[in-house]
């Protein structure tokens, strides 16, 4: 029943090989029924959507039965139900997947302006955007490749078919590089190729736009909030009565004063005191208030850190604790404060106690007439008062402005010498701009408040008898606020001299040639420390027993100021340009996905484009009959053991003929038996 397979020419002008070669190369016998069915005209079916084909792949055995396959839209009937379900599921999933990037853009738009710290899903969205450059091109390649392949298959099944150049351009555009290659190699459909390239260009744009879709950036949030603080000029003092100091508060005041001297230099020069309260800088000595009026001066932070400028006191301003639950919070506000400013000139250097009688001054009577006396009368001869003696004096009987005589013991061979400084006293009121963060507070700008109501009242207080009485009480207690060591300089004078260790039992200070500006600045700091240590000393940590507890915070503090509260937090911002590109690219991708799925549903024929097994169809040199309805993958599985090659199928001719052919059983290299010949570099082929 066997017969030699019949062949059809592979092209209109192809020549048939010799009969012997044809018989020897036909290693697979096809039964006569197959030959008959192969030449039979396809049966016309009543259904307009289907036709009948006969399928038979003979691989060495006779087949008595033929299998018929209906070519319906979509998938072929010979595929299993499981494969159909999986194929449909995959195609649907592939069509829906681009929508996820639209959802990503919507989620990013919702995150625009949202704080990073409180966002529920912002972190996950950011992680997804980082995967965009990887996922998007892969998804785009799968969707676009499916679309162009299905477009080519669908167009081929139309009655008018399609041009070969168009087929090559469309089907060959399985990637950006292949589309670009087809555009330059085929060069027949430039407009179509450019359109295909433009769609493939959406792949990198979509991937990059998804990664640049969302960013985090700091945002400043400003608000106004009241801040309460204590102006020590309006706090109760222990200097009004000597008994208030000597009986109840001397230990507290001395502990505060001497404890500040024990702090290291870095702490003394820091912007906050040992309790974390901001310190107020002194006005520089070269600051001319008359010229600068009430202009703000920029505080030199480096000069304060290096000790070239001084603070009014090492005791800072007590302020209400700001809320730093958010570490980025910053408070900017202004505080007012007062301090005693001393301008000192040396009027006697290394003189004996006898020479002090030549320094005449008027002693305030505090309710009684002033008395004229000399400095010798005020200095104890045994030195029991310590190494220095401060005295509040008047230059004349009718003078209303007091000044300070500061007498310091100087080293001598026998006994002691004295250095005397005449210091004018003034009470300055300052307004200082503060900036507080979680690290602490620091002064930014400063000015002297002139002609204010408070300034006028303080000027009258300084001239008033009771206030001068308080100042004199503070001056009397000042030398004993640190331990008095006979024939040794006090810690106060060592501080004024800017010693690193003020409790090193230094000898009496030699003030000859001292810088008077430096002396005045540090003397100002030391005296204001002594004065402020006696101003409500129990409330250093706001635990004063002298202050009545109230329900209102405003009633517990002497001053209120309005602070500018600035908070910075990281928020999400959407890049509108990249979001627009992502939406546009994904829209193109979604159109390709839907188009690919629709075309897949409309295609009836087998999928043979792009499969090497399709080269065995209707090939006179591959003796396979039937199977026209098989996809390329199914055909490859059926012919899995067949060995094929590209060779010269007309080796006897002067011009060879290159064809895709099958290898016969055996090695196929014996001369005279197999009419195949390997391709040669110098041989001519037609």
- DSSP string of 164-186, one letter each residue: HHHHHHHHT-SSHHHHHHHHHHH
Burial class of residue 536 in the structure, from the number of CB atoms within 10 Å of its CB (0-12 exposed, 13-18 middle, 19+ buried): buried
In the structure, what pLDDT confidence band is assigned to residue 365 with cuts at 50, 70 and 90?
low
- Looking at every residue in the chain, the average pLDDT score rounds to 79
Range of the domain at 512: 238-308+341-429+457-544
Residue 229's CB: how many other CB atoms inside 10 A? Answer: 21
Q: Assess whether 156 and 269 both reside in one domain.
A: no
Q: Assess whether 49 and 143 both reside in one domain.
A: no
pLDDT reported for residue 251: 86
Output phi, psi for 401, to 5 deg.
-105, 115
Q: Assess whether 39 and 106 both reside in one domain.
A: no
pLDDT reported for residue 108: 92
pLDDT reported for residue 3: 34
Q: Assess whether 142 and 56 both reside in one domain.
A: no
Residue 339's CB: how many other CB atoms inside 10 A? Answer: 24
The answer as to whether 274 is a domain residue is yes
pLDDT reported for residue 199: 92
pLDDT at 619 over 60: yes
Q: When comparing pLDDT for 368 and 84, which is higher?
A: 84
How many domains, in total, are found in the chain?
A: 3
Contact yes or no for 446/337 (Cβ under 8 A): no
The answer as to whether 92 is a domain residue is yes
Token pair, residue 614, equals 């399709």
pLDDT at 429 over 60: yes
Q: Assess whether 254 and 123 both reside in one domain.
A: no
pLDDT at 236 over 50: yes
Helix (H, G, I), strand (E, B) or coil at 549: coil
Token pair, residue 114, equals 């949202």
Residues in contact with 187: Cβ distance below 8 Å, sequence separation at least 6, in sequence order:
none
pLDDT at 508 over 70: yes
pLDDT reported for residue 292: 56
Q: Per mean pLDDT, which range of 297-306, 548-557, 584-593 is the poorest?
A: 548-557
The answer as to whether 625 is a domain residue is yes
Rounded Cα–Cα distance for residues 516 and 423 (Å): 10
CA 655 to chain centre: 72
DSSP calls for 253-321 = HHHHHHHHHHS-HHHHTSSB-TTSPBP-BPPPTT--HHHHTT--EE--HHHHHHTSS-BS-SS---BPP
Residues in contact with 606: Cβ distance below 8 Å, sequence separation at least 6, in sequence order:
71, 76, 628, 629, 630, 631, 632, 634
The answer as to whether 686 is a domain residue is no
pLDDT reported for residue 566: 93
Q: Assess whether 195 and 270 both reside in one domain.
A: no
The answer as to whether 513 is a domain residue is yes
pLDDT reported for residue 135: 93
Q: What is the pLDDT of residues 198-230, one digit of tens each?
A: 999 999 999 999 999 998 888 888 999 998 888
* Domain-terminating residue out of 525, 544, 563: 544
Q: Assess whether 150 and 242 both reside in one domain.
A: no
Q: What is the pLDDT of residues 550-562, one digit of tens each?
A: 445 556 667 889 9
Q: Per mean pLDDT, which range of 97-111, 363-377, 500-514, 581-595 is the poorest?
A: 363-377
Q: What helix, strand, coil percent values describe the chain, rounded to 5? A: 40, 20, 40
Mean per-residue pLDDT for 372-398? 79
Q: Which residue do the tokens 């002008």 mark?
A: 13
Rg (CA), the chain: 52
* CA angle at 402 for the pair 401 and 408, rounded to the nearest 5°: 155
Q: Assess whether 20 and 158 both reside in one domain.
A: no
Q: What is the pLDDT of residues 44-90, one digit of tens each?
A: 333 333 333 333 454 444 443 334 444 344 444 556 788 888 888 99
Q: Assess whether 584 and 610 both reside in one domain.
A: no
The model's pTM:
0.63
Mean per-residue pLDDT for 461-489? 82
Q: Assess whether 186 and 109 both reside in one domain.
A: yes
pLDDT reported for residue 419: 93
pLDDT reported for residue 400: 66
Token pair, residue 306, equals 């290096």
Q: Assess whether 96 and 152 both reside in one domain.
A: yes
pLDDT reported for residue 55: 38
pLDDT reported for residue 43: 33
pLDDT reported for residue 515: 94
The answer as to whether 394 is a domain residue is yes
DSSP count for the chain of H helices, then E strands: 20, 16
Q: When comparing pLDDT for 416 and 110, which is higher?
A: 110
Contact yes or no for 42/637 (Cβ under 8 A): no
Q: Assess whether 468 and 537 both reside in one domain.
A: yes
In the structure, what pLDDT confidence band is assigned to residue 29 with cuts at 50, 70 and 90?
very low
In the structure, what pLDDT confidence band is assigned to residue 509 with cuts at 50, 70 and 90?
very high
Could you give the C-alpha distances from 531 to 267, 473, 536, in angstroms and in order? 20, 10, 10
Residues in contact with 411: Cβ distance below 8 Å, sequence separation at least 6, in sequence order:
417, 507, 508, 509, 510
Mean per-residue pLDDT for 248-270? 88
Rounded Cα–Cα distance for residues 507 and 499 (Å): 12
In the chain, what is the greatest distance between 2 CA atoms, to the nearest angstrom? Answer: 155
pLDDT at 137 over 80: yes
Residues in contact with 18: Cβ distance below 8 Å, sequence separation at least 6, in sequence order:
652, 675
pLDDT at 8 over 60: no
Token pair, residue 18, equals 């010799």
Token pair, residue 115, equals 């704080």
Work out the end-to-end distance of the chain between its first and last CA atoms, rounded to an integer number of angstroms: 37
The answer as to whether 680 is a domain residue is no
The answer as to whether 423 is a domain residue is yes
In the structure, what pLDDT confidence band is assigned to residue 234 with cuts at 50, 70 and 90?
confident
DSSP calls for 664-678 = PSS-S--TTT---B-
Nearest one of 627, 626, 634, 632 to 611, comparing CA atoms: 632
Mean per-residue pLDDT for 182-192? 81
């Amino acid at each position: 029943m066997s017969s030699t397979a019949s062949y059809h020419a592979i092209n209109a002008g192809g020549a048939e090989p010799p009969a012997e070669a044809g018989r020897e190369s036909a290693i697979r016998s096809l039964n006569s029924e197959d030959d008959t069915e192969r030449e039979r005209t396809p049966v016309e079916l009543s259904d307009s959507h289907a036709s009948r084909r006969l399928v038979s792949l003979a691989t060495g055995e006779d087949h008595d039965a033929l299998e018929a396959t209906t070519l319906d839209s979509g998938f072929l009937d010979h595929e299993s139900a499981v494969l159909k379900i999986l194929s449909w599921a995959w195609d649907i999933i592939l069509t829906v997947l681009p929508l996820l990037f639209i959802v990503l853009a919507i989620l990013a738009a919702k995150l625009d302006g949202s704080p990073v710290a409180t966002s529920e899903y912002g972190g996950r969205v950011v992680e997804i955007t980082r995967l965009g450059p990887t996922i998007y091109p892969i998804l785009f390649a799968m969707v676009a490749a499916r679309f162009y392949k299905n477009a080519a298959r669908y167009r081929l099944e139309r009655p008018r078919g399609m041009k070969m150049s168009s087929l090559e351009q469309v089907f060959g555009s399985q990637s950006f590089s292949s589309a670009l290659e087809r555009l330059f190699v085929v060069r027949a459909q430039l407009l179509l190729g450019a359109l295909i390239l433009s769609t493939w260009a959406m792949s990198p744009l979509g991937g990059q736009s998804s990664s640049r879709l969302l960013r985090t950036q700091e945002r400043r949030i400003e608000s106004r909030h009241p801040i309460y603080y204590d102006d020590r000029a309006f706090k109760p003092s222990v200097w009004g009565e000597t008994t208030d100091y000597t009986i109840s508060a001397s230990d507290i005041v001395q502990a505060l004063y001497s404890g500040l001297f024990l702090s290291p230099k870095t702490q003394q020069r820091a912007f906050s005191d040992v309790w974390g309260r901001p310190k107020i800088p002194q006005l520089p000595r070269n600051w001319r208030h008359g010229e600068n009026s009430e202009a703000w001066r920029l505080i030199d932070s480096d000069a304060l850190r290096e000790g070239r400028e001084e603070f009014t006191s090492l005791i800072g301003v007590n302020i209400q604790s700001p809320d730093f639950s958010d570490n980025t919070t910053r408070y900017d506000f202004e505080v007012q404060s007062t301090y005693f400013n001393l301008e000192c000139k040396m009027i006697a250097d290394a003189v004996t106690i006898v020479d002090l009688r030549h320094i005449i001054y008027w002693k305030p009577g505090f309710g009684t007439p002033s008395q004229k006396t000399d400095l010798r009368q005020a200095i104890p001869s045994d030195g029991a008062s310590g190494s220095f003696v401060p005295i509040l004096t008047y230059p004349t009987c009718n003078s209303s402005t007091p000044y300070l005589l500061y007498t310091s013991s100087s080293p001598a061979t026998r006994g002691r010498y004295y250095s005397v400084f005449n210091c004018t006293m003034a009470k300055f009121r300052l307004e200082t701009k503060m900036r507080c963060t979680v690290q602490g507070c620091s002064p930014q700008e400063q000015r002297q408040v002139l002609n204010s109501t408070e300034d006028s009242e303080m000027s009258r207080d300084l001239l008033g008898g009771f206030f001068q009485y308080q100042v004199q009480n503070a001056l009397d207690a000042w030398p004993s606020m640190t331990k008095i060591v006979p024939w040794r300089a006090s810690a106060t004078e060592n501080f004024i001299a800017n010693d690193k260790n003020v409790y090193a039992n230094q000898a009496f200070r030699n003030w000859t040639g001292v810088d008077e500006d430096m002396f005045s600045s540090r003397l100002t700091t030391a005296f204001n420390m002594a004065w402020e240590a006696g101003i409500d000393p129990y409330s250093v940590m706001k635990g004063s027993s002298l202050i009545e507890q109230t329900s209102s915070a405003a009633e517990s503090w002497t001053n209120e100021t309005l602070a500018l509260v600035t908070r910075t937090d990281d928020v999400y911002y959407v890049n509108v340009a990249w979001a627009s590109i992502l939406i546009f690219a994904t829209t193109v991708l979604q159109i390709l996905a839907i188009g690919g799925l629709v075309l897949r549903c409309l295609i009836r024929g087998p999928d043979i484009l792009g499969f090497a097994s399709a080269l065995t169809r209707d090939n006179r040199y591959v003796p396979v009959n039937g199977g026209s309805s098989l996809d390329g993958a199914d055909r490859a599985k059926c012919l899995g053991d067949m060995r094929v090659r590209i060779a010269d199928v007309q080796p006897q001719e002067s011009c060879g003929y290159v064809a895709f052919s099958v290898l016969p059983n055996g090695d196929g290299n014996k001369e005279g038996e197999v009419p195949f010949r390997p391709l040669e570099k110098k041989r001519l082929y037609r």
